[in-house]
Chains A and B, each alone.
Chain A
Amino acid sequence: MLNKGTTAILVFFVIYGLIAWVGVRRMRQGRHVPIRRLPGLDAVDEAVGRATELGRPFMAVVSQPTPYMNDEVIAGIEVVRYAARTAAKYEASFVAIASGADSFAVLQDSVRAAFSGEGKPDLYREDMVRFIGGYSMVVYGPAVIALMEELKIAADLLTGYLGFQTLMLAEAGASLGAIQIGATKQTAQLPFIAASCDYTLMGEELYATAAYISRDPVSVGFLVAQEFGKCLCCIVVVVGVLLSTFGGAELIKLLER
């Protein structure tokens, strides 16, 4: 009935779903779960504050490598939304750049709503969200760099799949003295972001943003499920290593069923 190799995945999904359900229920009952500090997200306040002091913009770059928004872009937009709300609160100059038509539309809506939500709809301008088309980083990167230099940004947030342009964007920001926050799950970008950006949101930290900011029971419940999922993976890895080392391939066969 099930395709080969999917039984273990289905079992994992079911366990994951159950833990998420229990997690959400308990959060709704008022249980508190501490979430460790995300320096990258805390740095958004610092970065926006600096932009306000210097009178120069905070730039959020959302790069979409595919014609549709993927999970990383959706998570990145969450961070941009938070940055926009902070910019509205401090009345800082804010610019968001999108590379995809659908993320452009979502960003426009989100930034407009962020400013309205902070009670400052009059501060929102249409040119706050710009579209630089091109799913190719070769096109997108230099255009963003040109805009960074034109606007003389004070801080930037780099999110989405920037590929090899990550380094160039980060170096351009560094040459302007900007505070830089890199947010990605792409392992190819991580070395560049770690080397060139001041703060990072790596891997799962990007996905924890919604829970960290809002503390909403559903987001926190799912975050708890993520943590349990990781623990489960670690247990499977350790047990598998021990079994494989001492000659047993049972776990591998079980996972391949």
Chain B
Amino acid sequence: MRKEVPLIVTFIAGAGIMAGFFLQAPLVKVSLSANLLNWAVIISAFALALGAGNLTRLHGLNLSRRGKNWALSGLLLLGLWGFFLLGLVKGPTYSSYTYIFNAVLVPGSATVMALNGFYIISACYRTFRMRSWQATLMVLTAVVVALGRVGIGQAMWPALGPISDWINRYPNASAMRGIVIGAALGTVSLGIRVILGIERGHLGAEGG
């Protein structure tokens, strides 16, 4: 029953939502499909809580056992639950809550994302060697698009902007479509197998 119940639930949910996508019948579209989607949204919210619970358990254990970096585990738990309780009790529009968010979370997150800028430049320097005609094409395209998207490139040669746009709209879009079509068919294939219960990898050790 441990494996059968999830498979039955998967089939009903998957088939119900697909039926709602195709059929106009209110019973299917509104009663079944819309309700299933609403329940999925609620379950997703609980899954978020599950993640927080898991983190608390792991870092709580580390803290209590004075394991590796136990002080950092304590700091993590303080940040996680302190911020959560502040928002829960005082509301997310409370001044301290928004202050902590704007002063700590936003600059921290933006900094991590901004590191990408440094890494992409060093990665370009490390990897963009014209070892073959394909690599040469890639390098030239990268140079044109990199300069065409910014003011300095457009000031150097105004045509760079339209050329960059053309590269984005035609060769790039075509390649993206090809990859998206292939990946989408893979998703359909996997989806059908999951709904029909043929694919059970998401249930655990089945495929191991």
> Do A and B come into direct contact in the complex, CB within 8 Å?
yes
Chain A residues packing against B (C-beta within 8 Å): 1-3, 6, 9-10, 13, 16-17, 20, 66-69, 71, 74-75, 77-78, 81, 84-85, 100-102, 104-106, 109-114, 116-117, 131, 133-136, 138, 141-142, 164, 167-168, 170-171, 174, 185, 187, 190, 192, 195-196, 202-204, 206-208, 210, 218, 222-223, 225-226, 229-230, 233
| Interface set, chain B 150-208, CB cutoff 8 A to A | 176, 179-183, 185-194, 198-199, 201-205, 207-208
Chain B residues packing against A (C-beta within 8 Å): 21-25, 29, 40, 43-45, 47-48, 50-55, 58, 108-109, 112-113, 115-116, 119-120, 122-124, 126-128, 176, 179-183, 185-194, 198-199, 201-205, 207-208
Contact among A17, A110, A138, A195 for B207, CB-based, below 8 A: A110
Q: Can you sample 11 A-B contacts with CB below 8 Å? A: A71-B186, A71-B190, A78-B201, A81-B208, A85-B208, A100-B51, A106-B204, A185-B186, A195-B127, A203-B179, A207-B190
User: Smallest CB-CB separation from B46: which chain A residue?
Assistant: A67
* Residues of chain B lying within 8 A (CB to CB) of residue A1: 23-25
Contact flag A10-B189 (CB < 8 Å), given A167-B119, A195-B123, A204-B182: no
Closest Cβ of chain B to A236, distance in Å, is: 10
User: Smallest CB-CB separation from B191: which chain A residue?
Assistant: A71
Contact flag A75-B186 (CB < 8 Å), given A133-B52, A133-B54: yes
Contacting pair B45 A67 (CB below 8 A): yes
Closest Cβ of chain A to B188, distance in Å, is: 7
